Chains A and B, each alone.
Chain A
Amino acid sequence: MQSTTKIILRPWNAATLILRTTIISLIVITGYAFTTFNTRGVDFWAGVDMLGSNFQALLLSPQLKNITFVTMVHNLFITIGLGFLTTIFGAAIALGFALLAAQNLAPRWLTVIIKGLTAFIRAVPTVLWVLIFAVSAGLGSVAAVLGMTFHSAGYLIKAYAESFEEIDHGTIEALKASGANWWQIVFQAVLPSSATALLSWTFLRFEINFSTAIAMGAAAGAGGIGYDMFMASGYYLNLHEMGAFTYAVLAFAIVLEAGATRYKASLSK
């Protein structure tokens, strides 16, 4: 009999052990999760069965009933507008605070405080910020804009600060050595060399804010096409109308994604 020395292809080490443990835990948790689902008397297979015909009604025969096409487009642009406005406000706030949160530009204690605060702001889902502001401002666009701006600022402060920290340390040192003050360093070195990164992050946040604006229309009375969807789903129970709104939202989201992909491709050239 031929004796073979087995070649160990993937040696056991901490990384593979943790990887396997993670995968097994995820599978076990998933299995357990299915036993805890609250069915509320809904039959799963009947629901899956209905899903096919519902998708058919949604995607193959979209039809407006309670609002006109012009109103729908108008409401879509309200949602886009809310996304745009909160991105601009958030970016303006973030630009200032990110300079104070970047480790190469601000004292350590200040960066720790700001980063901690933004971590807290980001951990609270946007919809809850909107609802918190709605108590004093009332449900509507004011609360939605404030809540979404808040969350956007928290997100962008982190993203911007990390972009600032990535720039070449030598540039800042050279400027410092030549006697430039803090403002000169920021405007002549930090902002110009991180401009494309800042733009990419801001655009990504605009994509997120567009989706969030739909959600705020549905869940927090912010108006726009999200509210129309909420009415079609919860009040009129009209899947055909829902289909028309879905196509409208999808069209803009795909345009955004295509724009982002193109922008990325032009950067890497």
Chain B
Amino acid sequence: MHKLDFFTQKRLSFGLFVVVLIVLTYATIIFTEYNVAKGFTAIPKAVRWATANFYPDAASLKKLPTILLKLRDTILMSVASATVASFCAFFVAILGSQTTRINVWFSVLARGIATIFRNIDVSAWALILLFSFGQSSFTGYFALFFVTFGFMVRVLIETIDEVSTDSVEALRATGAGYFTIIAQSVIPSCLPQLVSWVLFMIETNIRSATLVGILTGTGIGYSFDIYYKSLNYHAASLVILVIVLSVFAIEAISNRIRRAVL
């Protein structure tokens, strides 16, 4: 058989990839009953509506202190959940990583639990935890805690294996005990990475906390929800502005810290 030249083959396989994607997309549009025409017409409508109504006005500025108070709650909750969850995850990761594990089965168990925790979405966690903690801050705190914990166990296991394998081996060769190895080698060498990941999770958690707040009635998400449902769009847009500014500020701070530490 005549063999196609390299470029024709490449072009054909790329073409096939595009065709498969288009067919899949079309099938999904039919299956989800997504209205493409309505989708397109909604964009200019949304822009027109937003420019006419969706900006903070003088009356909404009076609500700024209340909004800032709610923002404080959300930021504090994000920091607290990220910090405590990372602390717990670090110990589990030490027991679960290949370099420092005590026992293979424990390692498998640690990874398994972490997989379950991070793969249940934060909104699903919030809905589950509503059964135990009702509409209190604990619901949001634990929802963020579980997801952060699952994520951190995974990345910290990778970090420990990456950063401290050599130094652990060296210390082991000198006859150092398990806890000495952890305290003198694993913790110091992983700390910068750990802090960097905590900062990343704080950024993520602030966004998730807004969503959780809508579901559980707490924090900045709840403020938005109230103004949105009472059609007070000026105040709702102010909430968004406040969220954007705080996300920018926290990203700037954590980038600074990261650059200094790593």
B79 touches A254 (CB 8 A): no
Most B Cβ at <10 Å: residue of A51, A133, A135: A135
- A contact residues, range: 35 or more
| Selected contact of A22 from candidates B120, B130, B261, CB within 8 Å | B261
Q: Which residue on chain B has the smallest CB distance to residue A82?
A: B32
Asked whether any CB of chain B lies closer than 8 Å to the CB of A27, the reply is yes
- Residue from B32, B49, B115, B133 whose CB has the most chain A CB atoms within 10 Å: B32
Is A137 within 8 A of B45, CB to CB?
A: yes
Q: Does B123 lie within 8 Å of A42, measured CB to CB?
A: no
User: Would A84 and B24 be within 8 Å (CB), given that A47-B138, A124-B244 are in contact?
Assistant: yes
Within 8 A of B (CB), among A143-174: 143, 145-146
Q: Which residues of B contact A22 (CB under 8 A)?
A: 195, 199, 257, 261
Q: Is A265 close to B, CB under 8 A?
A: no
Selected contact of A127 from candidates B29, B129, B199, B211, CB within 8 Å: B211
**Interface SS of B by simple majority:** helix
Contact A250 B198 (CB under 8 A): no
Tell me whether B191 and A19 are in contact (CB under 8 A): yes
How distant is the Cα of A116 from the Cα of B261 in the complex, in angstroms?
26
Number of interface residues of B (CB under 8 A): 74
Report the minimal beta-carbon distance from A30 to chain B, rounded to whole angstroms: 4
Looking at chain A's contact residues, the main secondary structure is: helix
Q: Hey, what's the 0/1 contact readout for B75-117 against A, CB within 8 Å counting as 1? A: 0110110011000000000000000000000000000000110
> For the complex, is B233 an interface residue (Cβ under 8 Å from A)?
yes
B138 in contact with A39 (CB, 8 Å): yes
Q: Is B136's CB within 8 Å of the partner chain A?
A: yes
A215: chain B residues at CB < 8 Å are: 121-123, 211
Q: For the complex, is B38 an interface residue (Cβ under 8 Å from A)?
A: yes
A47 B133 Cβ-Cβ under 8 A = yes
Q: A residues within 8 A CB of B131?
A: 50, 54, 233, 237, 239, 242
On chain B, the residues within 8 Å of A12 by CB distance are: none
Nearest 10 pairs of A and B residues by beta carbon? A215-B123, A33-B76, A33-B80, A233-B127, A253-B119, A137-B42, A42-B136, A37-B137, A123-B247, A211-B121
In the complex, 19 of the A-B residue pairs with CB atoms within 8 angstroms, ordered by the A residue number, are A26-B198, A33-B80, A38-B73, A39-B137, A40-B135, A42-B136, A47-B138, A124-B244, A125-B207, A127-B211, A137-B42, A145-B39, A215-B123, A219-B211, A237-B131, A242-B127, A246-B124, A246-B128, A254-B119
